[in-house]
Structure 1
Amino acid sequence: MDASNIVTAPPKGEETLSDSIASLRDASRKLVREWGFLRSVFAESPLSPAAVHCLIEIGDVPDALPRSSSRLSVELRVLPTELARILSELAASGCIAVDHERLSETPGDVAYKLTAKGIQTLNAINAYAENQVSRALAAVPAGTASDITAAFRLYTTALERARAVPTPESSPSLPLQQTPARNVTIAPGYTPTLISSAVQMHMSYYHTRIGWGREFETGLSSMLSDIVSRLGNPFNQAWAAVESLPLPSGNPTQKIIGTIFIDGQIPGKEGTAQLRAFIVDEGARGLGLGRKLVGAAMGFVRERRFKECRLTTMRSLGAARKLYEGYGFVEVREERKVIWGVEVGEMEYVWRRDV
């Protein structure tokens, strides 16, 4: 027998590289499940896993440098468009605010800090995580905690070394051109699945953050159905941000990733329009679609010579409020009230035509 053809088995207790890869992958998958990364919210907070990690990076990482969007993009290994969605979620929840006292290293870059609510949320997340680790370590043999810690540090360091990590100095932000081009158009009028898409996006956003459920879904569906049924009237209009997605067959499919509605038939308020159901899908934020949708709606309001346009929003929706204010809306009222079965702080904004 040719000895060169004999496959030698590894010594008992030792693993081949292939065995190690399979074991580490299996352990990593189980960690992801146990830590809860597959859930829509994380660490018993109302935030997504990505938002939790960003919150920790802003408030819990010792660093003398400002936690700017460019640095966060590098540290979290996400593209600017994805980071914009994460920051929007944190701002909408009231957990972060712009840090005007600390300037970013990059001109035009924005630094962020935790609000009082953000600090409270982070403290709760840290308490949850520490409790989770404590319970896990209590279940391992005595004296092995330091071994587990050393193994984790060794593995994470190896993962970092296995890829080229850009430093904030050499790469302050991941270039936007790395994001694949997305074919999105703003379509006026009725688009198939307009109502269901708008409701789905609203439910996805507000159910986890506010708790709006059945009453909100049925009420919003009814309201939007009513507006869409009246689109034949020249004072009503709807717009959808429609993305064309390629399919393996070569025929693209279309998906609505943003909506906005203008209702120009407000009983007893001739000349007044109501802006309703403005939303952009969380995966499409940072692409400028919100500005395009509001711009289209306000162009319609001016074209139809409305005297004023009103909308309701919440203080926690800082990015949306800033967008409205950029188009001339001003706050006229804020009050606590029960909406869709949940008590929230409602704000009313109004835009008035210059005489």
Structure 2
Amino acid sequence: MTDNTLLIENIRTASRLMVRELGFMNPTLAATEYSASAVHTLLEAERLGAVTAAQLVNELGLEKSSVSRMLGKLIKAGELTEVVSVDDARVKHLQLTEQGKASVVKINAYGKMRVADALAHLDTAKQKAVAEGISAYARALKSCRDGSQANPQNPVIISSGYQPGMIGRISEMHARFYSRHANFGSFFESKVAAGLAEFTGRLGHENNRIWLAVQNGKIVGSVAIDGQDLGNNEAHLRWFILDDGCRGGGIGRKLLSEAVNFCDQQKFSATQLWTFSGLDAARRLYESFGFTLTKEWDGDQWGSRVMEQQFTRTAG
């Protein structure tokens, strides 16, 4: 048996064991009354804020008919509700109900407990090896399904400054993401594009900078520092966004590192950013860089009513 054959067999054996131990052989999953596909649907609804049936077909790799039946059951059970798109009445977004949110809290608590219990049997070095290895393997499996190449052949490069098509691409990423998460429509996309176009004309100023994450010539992430619009020697962190396929890979942290380091170099007294509640992963990332929630209010400046938030990072 060659080394490569042995490696493949070891991975297959480990995969079978994981499937059994995590309960995927059972008719229900994660201490719920729902199937694995239903549990994953609830988790995707939480992650995306709002999701369509077509998105679930793509994300979960299931047949359209299977997804339709499953969604009907979850809606009937009170876990999901349908919301008509503000831009196209033919499109229905699915969002978690209060019951659904409570179910996801229980699912996440159960999942975290299982992981923590397993990690307790490993030393620190092996815990890190598991986290890195299983993440890389999961991304490789996904690459096989969507036809993309593995990350090593397609590195994401962080660059600064204007690139052709930047305004349209960044606006598109914002529109797609926030349509799902907050049901924002054309008003929001137009406002993003207009603000970014105005800012691009000021990129020559020493206090303004934009960073782009680029993969295979395509912009997959961005962040900008506007050092002029707030005054008082304060910086405005703007247009932080990632393409769906790049989340969870550390690209967002690299972009924010560039932005925060620039603010420190320019000696701004503070850096402000505006967002809204419910984007928990982004909030944890902001807080890891020293941002704290300083203001919160009910607003609709983006076209839909949300709980808007202001985060502040002070110098020193």
Residue 191 (str. 1) matches residue 195 (str. 2): no
- Cα deviation for residue 270 of structure 1 reads 2.4
- Structure 1 residues 94 and 292, CA gap change in structure 2 (3 angstroms): farther
Mapped partners of 1:261, 1:103: distance in 2: 39
- Cα deviation for residue 183 of structure 1 reads 1.5
Q: Match for residue 102 of structure 1? A: 113
Q: Match for residue 237 of structure 1? A: 209
Select the residue among 113, 119, 136 that pairs with 1:176: 136
Residue 339 (str. 1) matches residue 311 (str. 2): no
AA matched with 1:264:
G
Mapped partners of 1:271, 1:108: distance in 2: 48
- Cα deviation for residue 102 of structure 1 reads 2.4
- Structure 1 residues 340 and 106, CA gap change in structure 2 (3 angstroms): same
CA contact (8 A) 1:331 1:349 kept: yes
Mapped partners of 1:302, 1:108: distance in 2: 39
Percent identity, please: 29
- Cα deviation for residue 103 of structure 1 reads 4.3
* SS in structure 2 at match of 1:298: helix
CA contact (8 A) 2:277 2:306 kept: no
Gaps of 5+ in 2: 1-43, 75-94, 122-129, 141-149
Q: Which TM-score applies when normalising by structure 2?
A: 0.59
- Cα deviation for residue 94 of structure 1 reads 6.4
- Structure 1 residues 94 and 285, CA gap change in structure 2 (3 angstroms): farther
* SS in structure 1 at match of 2:221: strand
Q: Match for residue 288 of structure 2? A: 326
Mapped partners of 1:330, 1:220: distance in 2: 24
CA contact (8 A) 2:237 2:273 kept: yes
* SS in structure 1 at match of 2:277: coil
Mapped partners of 2:215, 2:240: distance in 1: 17
The structure number with the bigger radius of gyration is 1
Larger relative CO (CA 8 A, sep 6+): 1 or 2?
Answer: 1
Mapped partners of 1:192, 1:108: distance in 2: 50
Q: Match for residue 290 of structure 1? A: 252
- Structure 1 residues 51 and 334, CA gap change in structure 2 (3 angstroms): farther
- Cα deviation for residue 202 of structure 1 reads 0.6
* SS in structure 2 at match of 1:334: strand
- Structure 1 residues 205 and 305, CA gap change in structure 2 (3 angstroms): same
Listed one character per residue, the Cα deviations across residues 29-56 of structure 1 (whole Å, up to 9, x for unaligned) are: xxxxxxxxxxxx99xx9323137999x9
Q: Match for residue 262 of structure 1? A: 225
Cα RMSD for the two superposed structures = 3.3
Gaps of 5+ in 1: 1-40, 61-88, 110-170, 245-253
- Cα deviation for residue 174 of structure 1 reads 4.4
